[in-house]
Amino acid sequence: MSKKNLKLGLFGFGCVGQGLYHVLHETHGVKAEIKKICVKHHNKTRPISESFFTFNKEEILNDPEIDVVVELIDDAKAAFEIVKTALEHGKAVVTANKKMLAEHLEEIYDLQRKHGKPVLYEGSVCGSIPILRNLEEYYDNDLINSIEGIFNGSTNYILTKVFEEKKSYSDALKKAQELGFAESDPSLDVQGYDPKYKLVIAIAHTFGVFVKPEEVINIGIDRISDLDLKFARDNGYFIKLIARAFKADGKIYGFVAPQFIEAVNPLASVRNEFNAVQVQGAFAEKQLFIGKGAGSYPTGSAVLSDISALTYDYAYEYKKLLQGDNHEFSNALLVDVFVSFELGTNITIQDFAKFESGYAAQGKQYMVGQVSLSKLQQWSALEGVGIILAPNSSFVALDSASTDLVEELKSA
């Protein structure tokens, strides 16, 4: 690309689009300017000159002067069509649309190769934390054992407010929406879909595996009860929604679930909309990245960093994929959990691979023990069942020949 000044065609002018506009104008080093912005709604007052806006996507996609399409809309289906057409028209793409990327990553990989144009998406995973380019460039080897952390700002914000300030769950969620952290459909945040999409993208750049989002189990924070919070406080734990993926016996495992976190764990101090990504390598060992994972300017700055990378012709090489290890993705895993449910729910001791303890309190039944991920997925579909991973849960591969504990992969 290496042109003097990149011309950008922007799709969407919501929270992240406006954030990008702001950071682009405050930053002097990036040689790029917005030529047009395509938006959907006609009757909205917008904070910049009307001359920027169009309602016709062809005005951007067919403009030969526009080098880069920056896709920042909400609708994953429409976003994929924009990305596809932009590449077909010889334009580079920057996007922060994690749902679209997670659902179409392999196709987007193929389209980049076919059309010889890059798609960059640092802003799609953990907002301002520069994780994807680090996975591609710094961790340019196959020795990463695991990647895990807090991949969703809204739920971390909600958990912080509920836990520390005793705010109600609904008030905290409302505030997360007002602050522009939550998705327009906030169930994507609280039910763990959003961090799952990010995990799917991270898995491709960490282990070279394309996983479909529907293959990855996600359990959200929406079932966490006052009793769970009390249990956490009484035992000196925090609760965090953790996304994790790791390699064991040549397979890749990955899932999203809430977990009790000990106060000494560095993730315990990651509060509000901050995210954290912990990468564990064979030699470098644990490294922790912390930064704002949601919000207009932090995400806008990640998008701007991608635009800047295009000015020096950067493209993801998908290095782990090209190493050709062909790891299989598996859910055949036992984890240690605390399960809470209404008396009468069809959950019994026999469901546990290893049962540790159980008690009843305030009309609820609690059980603690080791359970398969697939069982957890079944339970998460049942009304009123709360699932929280034990602190330092072990992970036991169900289908490994040895079924050894993956000791070194003990969580965080």
Give rounded-to-5 percent helix, strand, coil for the chain.
35, 25, 35
The smaller minimum CB distance to ligand HSE, of residues 152 and 206, is found at: 152
Q: Minimum CB separation from ligand HSE for residue 85, in Å?
A: 24
Q: Annotate 244-280 with DSSP letters as a single string.
A: EEEEETTEEEEEEEEEEEETTSGGGG--TTEEEEEEE
Q: Which is nearer to ligand HSE, 67 or 194 (CB)?
A: 194
Using CA atoms, how far residue 399 sits from 145, 251, 404, 406, in Å, is 19, 10, 10, 13
User: 366-380: b or e for each residue (b if 16 or more CB lie within 10 Å)?
Assistant: bbbbbbbbebbeebb
Nearer to ligand HSE, 87 or 94 (CB): 94
Q: Which of 111, 182, 257, 385 is close enough to bind ligand HSE by CB under 6 A?
A: 182
Q: Which is nearer to ligand HSE, 69 or 241 (CB)?
A: 241
Q: Which of 98, 99, 117, 198 is catalytic?
A: 198
Q: For ligand HSE, what does the binding mask look like between residues 283 and 302, x meaning CB under 6 A?
A: ----------xx--------
Q: What is the C-alpha to C-alpha distance for residues 195 and 382, in angstroms, rounded to an integer?
A: 21
Terminal C-alpha separation, the chain: 41
Least distance (Å) between residue 75 CB and ligand HSE: 15
Binding to ligand HSE (CB under 6 A): which residues in 103-132? 127
Work out how close the CB of 277 gets to ligand HSE at its nearest, in angstroms, rounded to a whole number.
13
Widest pairwise Cα distance in the chain = 68
**Would you say 154 or 370 has its CB closer to ligand HSE?**
154
Q: Which residue is nearest to ligand HSE (CB)?
A: 154
What is the C-alpha to C-alpha distance for residues 253 and 333, in angstroms, rounded to an integer?
Answer: 8
Residue 259 and residue 283: Cα distance in Å, rounded? 27
In the complex, minimum distance from the CB of residue 70 to ligand HSE, in angstroms, rounded to a whole number: 16
What count of other Cβ atoms lies within 10 Å of the Cβ of residue 17?
Answer: 24
Binding segment for ligand HSE among 57-65, 150-158, 228-236, 401-409 (CB under 6 A)? 150-158
Tell me: does residue 183 bind ligand HSE (CB under 6 A): yes
The minimum distance between CB 177 and ligand HSE, in angstroms, equals: 10
What is the CB neighbour count within 10 angstroms for residue 221?
26
Q: How far is the CB of 185 from ligand HSE (least distance, A)?
A: 10
Residue from 21, 163, 181, 314 binding ligand HSE (CB under 6 A): 181
Q: Which H/E stretch holds residue 6?
A: strand 6-11
Residue 37 contacts residue 52 (beta carbons within 8 Å): yes
Contact between 268 and 274 under an 8 Å Cβ cutoff? The reply is no
Between CA 358 and CA 368, with CA 363 as vertex, the angle to 5 degrees is 20
Name the token pair of 259.
């977990």
Choose the stretch contacting ligand HSE; rule: CB under 6 A; options: 40-48, 86-94, 181-189, 349-357: 181-189
Active site residue 198: yes
Stretch that binds ligand HSE, among 31-39, 152-160, 330-338, 381-389 (CB under 6 A): 152-160
Q: Which is nearer to ligand HSE, 185 or 313 (CB)?
A: 185
What span, in angstroms and rounded, lies between the C-alpha atoms of 95 and 69? 8
Question: Within 211-270, which residues bind ligand HSE (CB under 6 A)?
Answer: none
Q: Which residues bind ligand HSE (CB under 6 A)?
A: 127, 152-154, 181-183, 189, 194, 293-294
Q: Give catalytic residue positions.
A: 198
